């Protein structure tokens, strides 16, 4: 049995898939299986998956009717035979040593999850930013005692998971929604007893036209509210709302009020969703201005937050227009 199962959901991504797969096959850790889950592709991606599988016996291809990103990930999780699980999106690529380093840390600390840093890049290969979670590095942490773990990047793909974490928790990715990562990662963390954060940059996240982060479908940003409704309901059912209230408050401030508002403002600064995001934060956390995690925001984030609170949306739009 392979030690690690690497799951790559594939949907109409033919132009980018081979680079992703090559980066996985070049890993210095060799004991893995690569599951390519063809999610009903119509552009030849499914046929490319089959061709790639002929090159390397570690590749296994699963063809299925379209279920969306979450559904494809779930299929891979169910089919995984490895003790450990890595999720990679099919237009991204990973660094050659990241699997070896993450696996070593997981075994050394008997961890359920290992986090590592990532960089965002554009189609020309230009580095747009580097992200590392602000957590103690290379040591076992527990959400009960290090609640800041819940503030780590919620991305599905910058983490090595113990496969049994999905089995024990019963947590799976929701189907056909935006913001499926944050809905899932926060729930998984509640079941993880030991988590390790590495200082390594192991993942390259491609920002390209057509991706969710670049989508011009402004209306679908309302799904961030549905995602947080789901998260709040789950924490209350687990009896953990009060225990993690400060963390949930900051997550709402950051992902709903700050990030989602900016995303909408850049497309339409008069859109009705902007005051709706503000009202959502105020409704659930009327004391959000006293949240201790606000001090962890960067200088630029604090500036944008201040402009948001003053409703100076045109200045926010102008700032991002100048920036990019």
pLDDT for res 67: 96
Closest among 192, 31, 153, 49 to 104, alpha carbons compared: 31
pLDDT for res 101: 98
* pTM of the full structure: 0.94
Q: Are 244 and 111 within one domain?
A: no
Bridge partners, residue 130, by sequence: 119
Q: List the domain range (segments joined by +) for residue 288.
A: 216-323
Closest among 33, 40, 87, 41 to 60, alpha carbons compared: 33
Q: Are 226 and 186 within one domain?
A: no
Domain final position from 167, 197, 212: 212
The overall average pLDDT reported for the chain is 95
Q: Could you tell me the pLDDT band of residue 258, with boundaries at 50, 70 and 90?
A: very high
Q: Are 68 and 200 within one domain?
A: yes
Q: Are 294 and 308 within one domain?
A: yes
Q: What is d(CA 119, CA 132) in angstroms, rounded to the nearest whole number?
A: 9
Domain final position from 212, 236, 252: 212
pLDDT 10s digits, 81-104: 999 999 999 999 999 999 999 999
pLDDT for res 127: 94
Total of domains in the chain: 2
Q: Work out the angle between the directed axes of helices 180-191 and 68-79 (0-180°, nearest 10).
A: 30
């Amino acid at each position: 049995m392979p030690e690690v199962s690497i799951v790559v959901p594939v949907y109409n991504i033919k132009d980018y898939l081979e680079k992703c797969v090559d980066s996985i096959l070049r890993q210095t850790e060799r004991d893995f299986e690569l599951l390519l889950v063809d999610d009903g592709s119509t552009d030849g991606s499914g046929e490319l998956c089959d061709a790639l599988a002929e090159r390397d016996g570690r590749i296994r291809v699963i063809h299925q009717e379209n279920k969306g990103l979450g559904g494809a990930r779930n299929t891979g999780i169910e089919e995984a035979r490895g003790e450990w699980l890595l999720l990679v999106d099919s237009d991204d690529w990973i660094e050659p040593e990241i699997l070896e380093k993450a696996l070593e840390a997981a075994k050394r600390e008997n961890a359920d999850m290992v986090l590592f840093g990532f960089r965002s890049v554009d189609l020309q290969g230009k580095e747009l930013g580097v992200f590392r979670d602000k957590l103690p590095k290379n040591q076992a942490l527990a959400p009960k005692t290090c609640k800041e773990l819940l503030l780590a990047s919620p991305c599905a793909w910058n983490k090595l998971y113990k496969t049994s974490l999905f089995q024990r928790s019963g947590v799976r990715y929701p189907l056909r929604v935006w913001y499926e990562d944050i809905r899932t990662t926060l729930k998984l963390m509640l079941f993880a007893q030991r988590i390790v954060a590495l200082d390594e940059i192991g993942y390259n996240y491609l920002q390209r036209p057509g991706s969710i982060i670049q989508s011009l479908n402004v209306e679908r940003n309302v799904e961030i509210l549905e995602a947080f409704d789901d998260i709040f309901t789950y924490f209350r059912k687990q009896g953990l709302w009060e225990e993690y209230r400060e963390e949930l408050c900051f997550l709402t401030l950051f992902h709903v009020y700050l990030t989602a508002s900016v995303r909408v403002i850049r497309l339409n600064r008069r859109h009705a969703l902007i005051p709706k995001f503000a009202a959502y934060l105020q409704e659930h956390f009327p004391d959000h201005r006293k949240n201790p995690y606000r001090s962890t925001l960067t200088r630029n984030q604090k500036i944008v937050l201040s402009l948001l609170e003053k409703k100076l949306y045109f200045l926010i739009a102008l700032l991002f227009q100048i920036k990019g």
